[in-house]
Structure 1
Amino acid sequence: MSPEQAVIVIGSGLAGLCATTQLIAHRIPVVMLDRAAKPGGNSIKASSGINGAPTRFQPPLQNDAADLFLADTRRSAGRPLAASVDAERARRETLITTLVTSSAEAVDWLADEQGVDLSTVAQLGGHSRARTHRGGAGQKPPGFAIVSALLESLDREPLFQLRTNTRVTRVVTAKEGQEEGKGGMLGVEVAGQEGEGNRTETLYGPLVFATGGFAGDTHGLLEKYRPDLAGIPSTNDAREGTQPLLEAVGAAVVDMEQVQVHPTGFVDAKDLAARVKFLAAEALRGEGGILLDGRGRRFVDELATREQVTAAVMASASPLEEETGLRQWDVSLLMDEGAAAASKTHLDFYRWKGLMRKTTVGELALPALRDTLQGYADVVSGKTPDVFGRTAFGNWTLKEVSSDSVVYVGKVTPVVHFTMGGVVINEQSQVLDKDGAPIQGLWAAGEITGGLHGQNRLGGSSLLECVVFGRIAGENAAAFHQEH
């Protein structure tokens, strides 16, 4: 396969894989580039699931219509959406509407055409209904399951070429493409792999950027746009953001200061100073898990938005006293046996990693714990309303708390997790310049883009965004390739 005939997809996470799958369906060759040694990006680590409404997997009589999902997404987007006007407001609204109205089809496409089990549905923070889909007991975590299925399918395709350990250093302009006799195509300059000296290669063709966000770019874009987050650990490996590559060819960016701090990243007792943390999936709280301060007291509705839960942690919990050079808080995530059974796949992994442990209420010896758990059990049983306003309790089953009651617990802290800002796109996944005009031959999808989530992304909407806009990018890049 000649690279000159191919569409170039940069990034091998879910957005890039979905774009590629659509292109291959049109029998268009794809060269996929990724700077990492293995494909999958952050998508392969996603642990809570993918949103969709309404779907056949949702609980009967739940009455979750697309307009409820739309309202939750708008509410979560907050100030950036509410304060925008005219064309910018219309663009944001159209992105949100596209995401939500395409969600059921996205879940069906993964389940029916890619063979991914998405039969278990949970309610996550900021959602008014249970609409986040993942596999049943014993199944792989959703990110791994979805990415693996797509990669396995693509690996059988002679039209697909994957190059890992390959770093894009520059986007080549259409003018340069014209000068090189490439018909005014954009291109990418690719650095040679280790041991190849300063050799570079330039590939020309339609470009789909799916390179992710900059939550791990601690001393680059994160420091530039959110210096106040310095010292907070991250769920992302240290790597530079790629938005500047597209800005250099005229792309506009938006919401770059909107960075999501997830309330629960695991603090490993064996490595307190680790800057990169495993995420404690929001599904653990969705299935009934609660958050406790250092004395064993609840302090928040655990299913409020990530932004709200994080703020409550920082306001209510004590900082960890260990000298690690990091800003961390003393918080525990606790589950009873019912919530644990519903989260078995996650929990087995976390216990294997030593991040959660099985114990009893008495062994934990937290002064307020027994009263806290009995109060929560009474709320779940309907005896009393929750003072924090929580209304969904997943699969919590513990009703009468004693010192011998079995629980599962792990230490967690807020972590920099996701960047809502990025390059500006329209509902066709076309990258827009500063005047709002599409840059010909350039699409983007996933976390590299901005304007969809506003100030807070709902759990389960990152995988959804990748599927919806990745497929749209692939469809439009295919049409462009066929035309030119």
Structure 2
Amino acid sequence: MKRFFKNLTLIMTFMLILGAFAGCGKSAQGKDGKYTGQADGKHGSIKVEVEVAQGKIKDIKILESSENVVLSEPVYNKIKSTMVNKNNVNVDAITGSTETSNGYINAVKDALKKAGLKLEGDKLTVEPLKEKDTTQEYDVVVVGAGGAGFSAALEAKNAGANVVILEKMPTIGGNTLISGGEMNAPQTWVQKNVGIENDSPEKFYEDTLKGGDNKGNPAIVKVLTDNAKGAAEWLKDYVKVKFLDNQLFQFGGHSVKRALIPEGHTGAEMMTKFKMKSDELGITVKTETEVKELIYENNKVVGVKAKNLAGQDLTFKAKKGVIIAAGGFGSNVEMRKKYNPELDEKYMSTDTPGTTGDGIVMAEKIGAAITNMENIQTYPISNPKTGVISLVADSRFDGAILVNQEGKRFVEELERRDVISKAILNQTGKYCYVFWNKSIDDISKTISVHKDEYEMLVKEGLLYKAETIEDAAKFFKIPVDEFKKTVERVNGFAKDGKDLDFKHRGKLVSLEQGPYYIQKAVPSVHHTMGGLVIDTETRVLDAKGQPIKGLYAAGEVTGVVHGTNRLGGNAIADIVVFGRRAGVNAAQEK
């Protein structure tokens, strides 16, 4: 009997050892099948399905994503390719899309954890593409793949030119893509739909000049305001951008509602349609290709020198002209400090990482004139943790109020961005709160159209939905009695139709009924008004005021449009009006 138990014990021990080894093998190989994983990206949750077979990643599919479609698609594709080909999830984030990249990578890791599979070798970088020909020739070379660059490229192509767009970032879009995408234009079909009949190019001109303290070039501003309506119709009818037919925003500094709102309330609608139209026309777009310098020979710009992510030195010859549409320098802290020391590291930026002033610097090196560089705008309502512009808080344009930590209003909500930003920085803690109710949200619809941002802000404790005013005050430790007095006063102004405190130029809305929304916000660097000097035909001028042959510019890279301050909604009008003009003129260069 003892021998029996001894043998039984040996057998059981042997089986346990075998089981342990079998378990180790299963852990290393994982179980074949499809597993879901989830993690937070920049704008919300990213959910993936990872197919595992024989210890390897066979496929990765996106099930849900709140990320910007135009920005995220190449990120997902490049990282997926590296993970599958190398069977390794230890992959570097893609520059310019760090949060989206990390969200995707972590979602894949979450799925593999459920599969019992760990695939983390040496850290890998996503392999860049190489060019077959290091010297290429086009009629027109466009530097920058944002709204200005695509507007220019489309018009140059339609004028008969062979066009290439060069973009240093991994994805197209620039600041246009991450903006709200609203565009100011007078006498549009939407103004007609909503019954606004008191607008005109002249009134738009007056608002724009005044909004920049009359420092914008009057002739340039006139081109902008006279051609904004035509540019909006071109976007709608030719590029096929969808705008809301019965809603407009009235940004600060404007005398009437005139800002068209794209479907989805972001620039993604515009950039998606720009890319579709450029593909239709056969326009070449090269990302991860950084232009380093302009080629200036015999008193003419004849091309550019560039370097791609693969490390290749490239030359792009331009038989007709080069268009700089590379944006401003809001993300270049050193450049900001050079021209305006106040806007140093303590300020975050709403801009994309690629907004570093390259176009200004390279043009200045060949003698281009620059102007207005000290005027740098902050956007007043941005995320206190990331600096990203808050689109949920666009409720401000439909009646939301701004209050400080003491629960008091301190500025007109439809004032200019620079005025509101300075007012916020003078408050306790250098932040403010945006406060509105469901009645306002029913008008603006910002929560439903920016649901992912809303949920992220709630998760971060920066936005709170309250049933009562007392509840809203308690969440952010605002003095309840003072806050209630402020709201009661606003309710009275809404009823009487007159704001006795700050002369609100729009329409205050009663805040008597909840539920309520309250959001914390800070100013963040948003737009640089300075840049290259251009004439009304978008030709870049030298220090003597003479055009530099073969060189054109459009958008935030220029410095003569907005004066000391850009009014909200004018950037999209600027990039499209002058981008189109640059494209036509460059294509006709002799």
Instruction: Give the TM-score range, shorter chain.
Output: 0.7 to 0.9
| Distance in 1, Cα, partners of 2:233 & 2:534 | 25
Contact persistence 1:11–1:209 (CA under 8 A): yes
Contact persistence 2:402–2:435 (CA under 8 A): yes
Q: CA deviation at 1:338?
A: 2.2
| Distance in 1, Cα, partners of 2:213 & 2:351 | 25
What residue number does 1:248 align with?
A: 365
Residue 283 (structure 1) aligned with residue 388 (structure 2): no
User: CA RMSD of the aligned region, Å?
Assistant: 2.0
Q: CA deviation at 1:30?
A: 1.0
What residue number does 1:95 align with?
A: 220
**Cα-to-partner distance string for 1:435-470 (whole Å, 9 max, x where unaligned):** 111111111000000011000101000000000000
Task: List structure 1 segments (4+ residues) > 4 angstroms apart after TM superposition.
Answer: none
- Residue from 102, 112, 126 that aligns with 2:253: 126
| Distance in 2, Cα, partners of 1:8 & 1:237 | 22
Q: 1:193 to 1:344 in 2, by over 3 A?
A: same
Residue 389 (structure 1) aligned with residue 503 (structure 2): yes
What residue number does 2:316 align with?
A: 203
**Cα-to-partner distance string for 1:360-388 (whole Å, 9 max, x where unaligned):** 32212232222212211221222653311
Contact persistence 2:379–2:389 (CA under 8 A): no
**Cα-to-partner distance string for 1:320-372 (whole Å, 9 max, x where unaligned):** xxxxxxxxx23111121122123324442321322533223221223222221
Residue 171 (structure 1) aligned with residue 274 (structure 2): no
What residue number does 1:412 align with?
A: 521
Give the 5 Å matches for 1:302-313.
302-313=413-424
The one-letter amino acid paired with 2:270 is I
**Cα-to-partner distance string for 1:12-37 (whole Å, 9 max, x where unaligned):** 00000100111122232211100110
- Residue from 157, 180, 183 that aligns with 2:281: 157
The higher relative CO (CA closer than 8 Å, separation ≥ 6) is in: 1
**Cα-to-partner distance string for 1:151-189 (whole Å, 9 max, x where unaligned):** 11112232x1111011111111123xx9xxxxx552111
Q: 1:30 to 1:383 in 2, by over 3 A?
A: closer
- Residue from 469, 472, 477 that aligns with 2:578: 469
Which segments of 5 or more consecutive residues in structure 1 lack a partner in the other structure?
Answer: 82-91, 179-183, 320-328
Give the 5 Å matches for 1:438-453.
438-453=547-562
| Distance in 2, Cα, partners of 1:61 & 1:167 | 45
- Residue from 311, 315, 318 that aligns with 2:428: 318
- Residue from 60, 64, 78 that aligns with 2:213: 78
Q: CA deviation at 1:64?
A: 0.9
| Distance in 2, Cα, partners of 1:57 & 1:448 | 30
The one-letter amino acid paired with 1:8 is V
Q: 1:397 to 1:388 in 2, by over 3 A?
A: closer
- Residue from 423, 428, 431 that aligns with 2:532: 423
Q: Which segment is superposed worse, 252-261 or 385-394?
A: 385-394
Give the 5 Å matches for 1:322-337.
329-337=430-438
Q: 1:189 to 1:131 in 2, by over 3 A?
A: same
Contact persistence 1:445–1:473 (CA under 8 A): yes
**TM-score normalised per structure 1:** 0.85
Q: 1:252 to 1:49 in 2, by over 3 A?
A: same
| Distance in 2, Cα, partners of 1:338 & 1:217 | 40
| Distance in 1, Cα, partners of 2:181 & 2:414 | 13
Aligned residues: 435
What residue number does 2:202 align with?
A: 67
Which segments of 5 or more consecutive residues in structure 2 lack a partner in the other structure?
Answer: 1-132
Residue 109 (structure 1) aligned with residue 212 (structure 2): no
Contact persistence 1:95–1:427 (CA under 8 A): yes
Q: 1:313 to 1:185 in 2, by over 3 A?
A: closer
Q: 1:28 to 1:122 in 2, by over 3 A?
A: same
Q: 1:103 to 1:79 in 2, by over 3 A?
A: closer
Residue 190 (structure 1) aligned with residue 300 (structure 2): no
**Percent identical:** 29
| Distance in 2, Cα, partners of 1:237 & 1:15 | 15
The one-letter amino acid paired with 2:396 is R
| Distance in 1, Cα, partners of 2:237 & 2:497 | 42
| Distance in 2, Cα, partners of 1:155 & 1:376 | 51
Q: CA deviation at 1:115?
A: 2.2
Q: 1:449 to 1:477 in 2, by over 3 A?
A: same
Q: 1:27 to 1:301 in 2, by over 3 A?
A: same
What residue number does 2:83 align with?
A: none
- Residue from 455, 465, 479 that aligns with 1:358: 465
Q: CA deviation at 1:281?
A: 6.6
**Cα-to-partner distance string for 1:83-131 (whole Å, 9 max, x where unaligned):** xxxxxxxxx1110000001111111111222222222212110001000
The one-letter amino acid paired with 1:352 is E
Contact persistence 1:287–1:342 (CA under 8 A): yes
- Residue from 370, 373, 376 that aligns with 2:490: 376
Q: CA deviation at 1:203?
A: 1.2
| Distance in 2, Cα, partners of 1:48 & 1:20 | 19
Q: CA deviation at 1:289?
A: 1.4
Q: 1:338 to 1:116 in 2, by over 3 A?
A: farther
| Distance in 1, Cα, partners of 2:376 & 2:497 | 39
Q: CA deviation at 1:262?
A: 1.5
What residue number does 2:139 align with?
A: 6
- Residue from 367, 383, 392 that aligns with 1:266: 383
The one-letter amino acid paired with 2:365 is A
Q: 1:149 to 1:463 in 2, by over 3 A?
A: same
3-state SS in 1 of match to 2:207: helix
Q: CA deviation at 1:79?
A: 5.6
3-state SS in 1 of match to 2:205: helix
**Cα-to-partner distance string for 1:192-248 (whole Å, 9 max, x where unaligned):** 323x3xx311111110110000011012x1111011111112112444312110001
Contact persistence 2:295–2:302 (CA under 8 A): yes
Q: 1:278 to 1:262 in 2, by over 3 A?
A: closer
Residue 434 (structure 1) aligned with residue 543 (structure 2): yes
* Structure with more helix by fraction: 2
Q: 1:171 to 1:379 in 2, by over 3 A?
A: same
**Cα-to-partner distance string for 1:292-325 (whole Å, 9 max, x where unaligned):** 101221111010111111121122x112xxxxxx
What residue number does 1:181 align with?
A: none
| Distance in 1, Cα, partners of 2:147 & 2:492 | 41
